[in-house]
């Protein structure tokens, strides 16, 4: 049985509804952002005083972009340069008996060029008549992390890699941070997030020293027990690091990693990312500058350093992010709703938990029909990823992979195969084109191929 679209809505001659005033509220990093509509209760995690935010954009076209964090679909042509030969996150997940994706399959995920080319025995097969449009996108930026991946799909290509620290951070980075925080650091080398609190947690609890570590990505991560350093204090330390880490030491993200309990300890849900600002004008900036709505769900707000959004909401896990995206599909707006579902990467990919990864993708797939049923006549739904993180290879780091781009909606040409695209920025160019916003000069709009 095929996917069915709802009856078109129209309560006014132009099929649009007026905006309700927005409210503003503080975010965890102290910035201001536009909050929930007056007609709805404020979302969980967003509190504080409010003031009106007015938008004169009529209700009309909406684009929902959902990022399945790290859900790559096969090694990129330059994967060997990154040590990622043979990676295919999609096919790796399919080695798990828990992997069940009938709805993504129906839309054309498995019809994407090269997606099933893998050494894994996965049992996947394309469908004869896919109901969506689809492509694979190659990353043009020099990187394989969330920051660079999201920036590129928003139209900012990074020709130079962000700095990484395989030997740990040098004294010129560590010493100013220690002076500013009044705390020493321990570890200071690449480490698994769960292993580092097991191996250094006791010393941290005994001495109060901060656990500093990194990974193959451009990240400066600080772990601390919540009973020793409360989360708000840890966030302040991260703000200090973010202010210091600029220029040649401008890492993509400073990340707070709180943990709790007794040894070997458990990480809490109070992680918070402090991103470098995008190095160019993004799709989000362009849409907001044209007076359109830009809603973000999950860590999108953090990845863009709060820039370019008109409203955002935090999430506790993938299920929460899916629920909040579905809830916002009932909301009247014109523009973009941009969601990141991070558990696939943070909880399962980096821990090489193939069953957990498969279960998370299957959970999203099971809720996909509910999202599709909420699409209005002019809506587009796009499902993509920002990089890979193959949970079967020995590495626990991200993998340099192609990413999927699956597009659905009442106006989408069923079975439109866009082939292999040279940059994630084609997504931004297409969204801007659809919403009538000037192009950024990166990427190519594929709108004419997508629409029926």
Q: Hey, what are 242's tokens?
A: 């973010």
User: Is 245:222 a contact under the CB 8 Å cutoff?
Assistant: no
Instruction: Encode pLDDT of 347-401 as tens digits.
Output: 999 999 999 999 999 999 999 999 999 999 999 999 999 999 999 999 999 999 9
Around 436, how many Cα atoms within 13 Å sit in the side-chain half-sphere? 9
pLDDT confidence band for 60 (50 / 70 / 90): confident
3-state secondary structure of 113: coil
* Cα-based distances in Å from 379 to 106, 375, 376, 407: 19, 6, 5, 10
User: Is 293:310 a contact under the CB 8 Å cutoff?
Assistant: yes
* Cα-based distances in Å from 39 to 11, 23, 62, 314: 18, 10, 20, 19
pLDDT at residue 308 tops 50: yes
* Bridge partner list, 167: none
pLDDT at residue 137 tops 50: yes
* Cα-based distances in Å from 92 to 47, 70, 74, 138, 183: 41, 12, 10, 19, 42
Rounded CA separation 340/325 (Å): 10
For the segment 92-117, the average pLDDT, to the nearest whole number, is 98
pLDDT confidence band for 49 (50 / 70 / 90): very low
Q: Angle between the 171-181 and 231-244 helix axes, to the nearest 10 degrees?
A: 140
Domain with CATH 3.40.720.10 in the chain: 62-160+276-450
The residue among 314, 324, 319 whose CA lies nearest residue 347 is 319
Strands 266-267 and 253-260: antiparallel
Instruction: Encode pLDDT of 138-152 as tens digits.
Output: 999 999 999 999 999
pLDDT at residue 312 tops 70: yes
Write down the pLDDT at residue 59. 65
Q: For 171-275, CATH number?
A: 3.30.70.1250
Domain with CATH 3.30.70.1250 in the chain: 171-275
Return the higher-pLDDT residue of 394 and 43: 394
- Element spanning 260, H or E: strand 253-260
Instruction: Encode pLDDT of 263-283 as tens digits.
Output: 999 999 899 999 999 999 999
User: What percent of the chain clears pLDDT 90, i.e. is strictly above it?
Assistant: 86
For the segment 419-426, the average pLDDT, to the nearest whole number, is 98
Q: What is the mean pLDDT of the chain?
A: 89
Lowest-confidence region among 52-66, 115-129, 435-449: 52-66
User: Is 250:241 a contact under the CB 8 Å cutoff?
Assistant: no
- Element spanning 189, H or E: strand 185-190
Q: State the alpha helices, DSSP H only, in 163-299.
A: 171-181, 193-207, 231-244, 283-289
Residue with tokens 């394309």: 126
pLDDT confidence band for 433 (50 / 70 / 90): very high
pLDDT at residue 169 tops 90: yes
pLDDT at residue 199 tops 50: yes
pLDDT confidence band for 33 (50 / 70 / 90): very low
Q: How many helices (H) and strands (E) does the chain have?
A: 13, 16
For the segment 300-326, the average pLDDT, to the nearest whole number, is 97
pLDDT confidence band for 31 (50 / 70 / 90): very low
Lowest-confidence region among 10-14, 118-122, 207-211, 375-379: 10-14
- Element spanning 214, H or E: strand 210-214
Write down the pLDDT at residue 216. 87
Instruction: Encode pLDDT of 212-235 as tens digits.
Output: 999 988 999 999 999 999 999 999
Write down the pLDDT at residue 65. 99
Instruction: Encode pLDDT of 63-93 as tens digits.
Output: 999 999 999 999 999 999 999 999 999 999 9
3-state secondary structure of 72: coil
* Cα-based distances in Å from 441 to 286, 309, 426, 437: 12, 21, 10, 12
Question: Is 3.40.720.10 the CATH classification of the domain at 62-160+276-450?
Answer: yes
* Cα-based distances in Å from 321 to 124, 334, 345, 376: 27, 20, 14, 20
pLDDT at residue 36 tops 50: no
Phi and psi at residue 113, in whole multiples of 5°?
Answer: -50, 125
Strands 62-68 and 379-384: parallel
Return the higher-pLDDT residue of 196 and 28: 196
User: Is 311:295 a contact under the CB 8 Å cutoff?
Assistant: yes
Write down the pLDDT at residue 198. 98
Write down the pLDDT at residue 245. 98
Rounded CA separation 190/215 (Å): 5
Q: Specify the pTM.
A: 0.85
Q: Angle between the 425-434 and 146-153 helix axes, to the nearest 10 degrees?
A: 40
């Amino acid at each position: 049985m095929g996917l069915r679209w709802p009856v078109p809505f129209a309560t006014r001659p132009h099929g649009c509804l007026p905006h309700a005033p927005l409210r503003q509220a503080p975010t965890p990093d102290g910035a201001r952002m536009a909050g929930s509509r007056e007609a709805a209760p404020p979302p969980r995690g967003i509190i504080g005083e409010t003031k009106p935010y007015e938008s004169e954009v009529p209700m009309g076209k909406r684009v929902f972009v959902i990022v399945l964090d790290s859900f790559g679909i096969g090694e990129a042509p330059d994967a060997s340069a990154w040590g990622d030969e043979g990676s295919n996150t999609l096919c790796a997940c399919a080695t798990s008996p828990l992997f069940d994706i009938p709805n993504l399959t129906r839309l054309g995920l498995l019809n994407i060029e090269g997606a099933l080319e893998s050494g894994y025995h996965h049992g996947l097969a394309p469908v004869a008549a896919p109901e969506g449009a689809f492509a694979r996108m190659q990353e043009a930026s020099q990187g394989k992390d969330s920051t660079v991946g999201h920036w590129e799909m928003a139209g900012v290509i990074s020709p130079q890699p962000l700095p990484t620290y395989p030997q740990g951070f040098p004294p010129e980075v560590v010493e100013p941070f220690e002076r500013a925080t009044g705390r020493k650091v321990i570890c200071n080398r690449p480490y698994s997030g769960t292993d580092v609190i097991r191996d250094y947690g006791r010393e941290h609890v005994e001495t109060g020293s901060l656990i500093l570590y990194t990974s193959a990505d451009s990240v400066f991560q600080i772990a601390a027990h919540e009973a020793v350093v409360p989360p708000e204090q840890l966030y302040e330390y991260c703000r200090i690091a973010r202010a210091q880490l600029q220029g040649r030491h401008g890492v993509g993200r400073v990340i707070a990693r709180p943990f709790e309990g007794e040894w070997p300890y458990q990480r809490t849900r109070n992680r918070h990312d402090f991103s470098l600002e995008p190095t160019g004008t993004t799709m989000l900036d362009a849409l907001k500058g044209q007076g359109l709505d830009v809603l973000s769900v999950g860590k999108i707000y953090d990845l863009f350093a709060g820039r370019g959004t008109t409203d955002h909401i935090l999430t506790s896990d993938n299920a929460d992010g899916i629920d909040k995206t579905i809830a916002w599909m009932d909301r009247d707006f014109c523009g973009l709703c941009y969601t990141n579902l991070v558990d696939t990467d943070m909880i399962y990919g980096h821990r090489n938990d193939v069953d957990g990864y498969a279960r998370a993708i299957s959970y999203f797939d099971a809720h996909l029909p509910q999202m599709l049923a909420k699409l209005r006549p002019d809506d587009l739904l796009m499902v993509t990823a920002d990089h890979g993180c193959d949970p079967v290879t020995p590495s626990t780091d991200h993998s340099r992979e192609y990413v999927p781009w699956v597009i659905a909606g009442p106006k989408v040409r069923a079975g439109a195969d866009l082939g292999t695209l040279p940059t994630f920025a084609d997504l931004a160019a297409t969204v801007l084109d659809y919403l009538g916003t000037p192009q950024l000069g990166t990427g190519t709009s594929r709108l004419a191929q997508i629409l029926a």
